[in-house]
């Protein structure tokens, strides 16, 4: 993690200021901890990744998916390539989403970055700035970090939840999420958090499987109900976007056999 990244970080619990404690005063922080004086919580930094959650603190579907990805992460890269083949290939499938970001430098946040599947396509653009990625799975972030280090990309990674982002308000020029929100524990809170950390005028892009595809996934993974016994809502979360947002639209993506197998929800945070 870059030392300068402290400028955009805050406590995910109370949004208080964080102070960095580490042994080496260099530009990069590989080991140390972040301390919030307001709520007196500490967050570890290990191998350059700041840990803002602990597995035992997770609840509902977040807990179940964090466990799932600890096992699944080693197969994600090949799974994605095979899944996107019938839809025209991985490049086409990811481009359907990423082209909507309107890259223009600055800070780009990917919520649920996984093993970094979008990064190669983002950094092909000369307009790509600094990337920041958050995920709920430590195993996914470890694999993502290896990819980042091999390529030398300017990316900082964080272990945390979409419902409590560890970033200060209005920190990012673009915010996006691909895959996962269908099964977030609290979708509305996650969307509100993406809006909070986006700068005024920023584009926010959210994509996931179509409702029909998500229902099939839910049955396969036995996720038809959450841990609280409520039926899992796999509908497109456009109704959760505040009416104050601008340019709200939903498009079908990932077309195969005449049907769309995904959706892309995009909107803009008002500039005023």
Which residue would you say has higher pLDDT here, 156 or 59? 156
Q: How far apart are CA 197 and CA 158, in angstroms?
A: 15
Cα separation, 28 vs 47, whole angstroms: 11
Residues 164 and 225 occupy one common structural domain: yes
21 and 90 together in one domain: no
State how far the Cα of 22 lies from the Cα of 132, in Å rounded to an integer. 21
Same domain, 126 and 2: no
- Whole-model pTM? 0.92
Q: Note whether 66 and 111 are same-domain residues.
A: yes
Tell me the average pLDDT across 98-106. Answer: 94
DSSP-derived letter for residue 134 is E
Range(s) of the domain holding residue 35: 1-47
- Each residue's pLDDT tens digit, 238-247: 999 999 999 9
Alpha carbon distance 21, 35 (integer Å): 8
Residues 208 and 99 in one domain: yes
At 271, the pLDDT band (50, 70, 90 cuts) reads: very high
Confidence (pLDDT) at 62: 78
Look at residue 185 in the predicted model and tell me its pLDDT.
Answer: 82
- Whether residue 24 is found in the same domain as residue 119: no
Burial code (b: 16+ CB inside 10 Å, e: under 16) for 232-246 equals: bebebbeebbeeeee
What's the rounded mean pLDDT across residues 12-39? 91
C-alpha–C-alpha distance, residues 256 and 272, integer Å = 40
Residue 216's φ and ψ, nearest 5 degrees, are -65, -45
Q: What is the mean pLDDT of residues 105-114?
A: 96
CB 98 within 8 A of CB 203: no
The pLDDT tens digits for 245-264 are: 999 999 999 998 889 999 99
The CATH number of residue 248's host domain is 3.40.50.150
Q: Same domain, yes or no, for 155 and 231? A: yes
The pLDDT of residue 227: 46
Given 47, 68, 83, the domain boundary residue is 47
Determine the pLDDT at residue 52: 96
Does residue 92 have a pLDDT over 50? yes
Could you tell me if 43 and 95 lie in one domain? no
Q: Residue 222 — pLDDT band, cuts 50, 70, 90?
A: low
For 220, the enclosing helix (H) or strand (E) is helix 211-220
Between the alpha carbon of residue 77 and those of residues 72, 131, 151, 177, 181, the distances in Å are 10, 20, 16, 17, 19
Do 138 and 16 fall into the same domain? no
For the chain, the domain total comes to: 2
The answer to whether the beta carbons of residues 60 and 231 sit under 8 Å apart is no
Averaged pLDDT score across all residues of the chain: 90
Q: What is the mean pLDDT of residues 216-237?
A: 66
Averaged over 227-245, what is the pLDDT?
Answer: 81
Same domain, 170 and 87: yes
Quote the pLDDT of residue 223.
60
Same domain, residue pair 68 and 42: no
d(C-alpha 32, C-alpha 231), whole Å: 41
Q: Say whether both 38 and 95 belong to one domain.
A: no
Question: Taking residues 108-130, what's their average pLDDT?
Answer: 95
């Amino acid at each position: 993690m870059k030392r300068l990244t402290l400028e955009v970080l805050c406590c995910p619990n109370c949004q208080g200021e964080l102070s960095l404690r580490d042994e080496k005063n260099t530009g990069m922080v590989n080991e140390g901890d972040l301390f919030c004086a307001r709520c007196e919580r500490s967050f570890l930094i290990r191998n350059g990744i700041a840990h803002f959650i602990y597995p035992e603190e997770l609840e509902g579907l977040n807990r179940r998916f964090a466990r799932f990805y600890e096992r699944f992460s080693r197969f994600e890269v090949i799974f994605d390539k095979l899944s996107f083949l019938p839809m025209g290939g991985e490049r086409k499938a990811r481009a359907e989403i990423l082209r909507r970001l309107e890259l223009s430098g600055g800070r780009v946040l990917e919520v649920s970055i996984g093993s970094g599947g979008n990064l190669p396509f983002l950094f092909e653009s000369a307009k790509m700035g600094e990337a920041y990625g958050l995920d709920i799975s430590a195993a996914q972030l470890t694999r993502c970090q290896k990819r980042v280090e091999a390529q030398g990309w300017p990316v900082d990674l964080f272990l945390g939840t979409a419902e409590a982002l560890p970033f200060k308000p209005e920190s990012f020029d673009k915010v996006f999420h691909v895959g996962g929100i269908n099964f977030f524990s609290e979708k509305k809170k996650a969307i509100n958090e993406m809006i909070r950390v986006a700068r005024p005028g920023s584009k926010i892009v959210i994509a996931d499987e179509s409702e029909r595809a998500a229902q099939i996934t839910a049955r396969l993974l036995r996720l038809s109900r959450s841990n609280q016994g409520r039926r899992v809502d796999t509908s497109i979360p456009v109704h959760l976007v505040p009416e104050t947002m601008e340019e709200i639209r939903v498009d079908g993506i990932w077309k195969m056999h005449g049907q769309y197998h995904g959706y892309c929800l995009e909107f803009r945070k008002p500039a005023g």
